[in-house]
Amino acid sequence: EKVGHVERLCIAQITHPRAIRDTKEVLERVVKRLGDKIFVSLLINATGTTYQDILDYKRLGADTVTVAIDCGTPEVFERLRGRPMNSPHRWETFWKVLEWACDVMGDGYVGCHLVVGLGETEQEMIETIQKVRDLGARTHLFSFWPEEGSMMEKEPPCPAPQFRRVQFARYLIDNQIARYEDMKFNEKGQVIDFGIPKETFEELFWSGRPFMTSGCRGKTTETACNRPFGDSSPTDIRSYPFKPNRKDLERIRKQLFDYEMTTNYPDILNPSVFRYQ
């Protein structure tokens, strides 16, 4: 299918000795050819990145830098991306590089990838989202989906209710409508109060915006990111690249209000405690 227009190009790094050098070369070439037509993002590997590298990326024309921390807690990060995996990645390194990126690029031009459903609670992930926002970055949220052929292919996908509640909280935090400290959680770490009045909840919910893809902006669109097309089944879209319609929102509402469906917690609290029920 022919694409009408492209608003952003994202260059993603892997863990390789040449990755940083090659990124700078590719970035320079792309900006020279297309810099006046599209935005260019970098998804960087924090391991091995220096403060000077980020200065170079900005000088060469990257308008946004994103760091994929992915995990909501240091324990989950260590288990999935750290020493047990024979990996050079360290939790503290990724946060330091995210902080450097915010210092160099400025508020609104730094993203942080976080994946919901890797073993953290809603409360833990939302607290991390607030930490990202307080640094000056914004969270690009993904719902864990086991990819065939990957080391986690047999792991269960993120339960939809868990993702929907974190997704809504992410929207509130990134848009400075509410903070983590305003929210309330049950003993399972699930959101039962977003810290906003019911009428505000209803207005934001039916706008559909909290459930749209959170990613790098385009020239004419709020987000030009299409990577979250891969974070769910096509029959149950988690990150909408378009505004969800009424039918979509009715299904999302059932998911967001459903605590029993959250398979990580089989003995879940009665959902009637949810403030917005």
Q: Flag whether 274 is in a domain.
A: no
User: Distance (Å, rounded) from C-alpha 93 to C-alpha 110?
Assistant: 16
User: Distance (Å, rounded) from C-alpha 264 to C-alpha 114?
Assistant: 19
Query: Mean pLDDT of residues grouped by 10 in the chain (277 residues)?
Result: 72 95 97 90 97 98 97 98 96 99 97 98 99 98 93 94 98 99 96 97 98 91 79 90 95 93 43 65
Q: Count CA atoms within 13 Å of residue 168 on its CB side.
A: 30
Question: Which phi and psi angles does 112 have, rounded to 5°?
Answer: -135, 120
Burial of residue 120 (CB within 10 Å: 0-12, 13-18, 19+) is: buried
Q: Flag whether 276 is in a domain.
A: no
Q: Flag whether 19 is in a domain.
A: yes
User: Distance (Å, rounded) from C-alpha 57 to C-alpha 37?
Assistant: 18
Under 8 Å between Cβ of 80 and 71: yes
Q: Flag whether 2 is in a domain.
A: no
First to last CA, the chain: 42
Question: What confidence score (pLDDT) does residue 264 get?
Answer: 43
Q: Flag whether 31 is in a domain.
A: yes
Q: Flag whether 273 is in a domain.
A: no
CATH number at residue 18: 3.20.20
Question: What confidence score (pLDDT) does residue 241 get?
Answer: 87
Total count of domains within the chain: 1
Q: Flag whether 182 is in a domain.
A: yes
Question: What confidence score (pLDDT) does residue 171 get?
Answer: 99
Question: What confidence score (pLDDT) does residue 4 get?
Answer: 61
Q: Flag whether 275 is in a domain.
A: no
| Containing structural domain, residue 138 | 8-267
Beta-strand ranges (E) seen in the chain are: 8-12, 39-44, 64-70, 110-116, 138-143, 184-185, 191-193
Question: What confidence score (pLDDT) does residue 265 get?
Answer: 37
Question: Which phi and psi angles does 242 have, rounded to 5°?
Answer: -145, 170
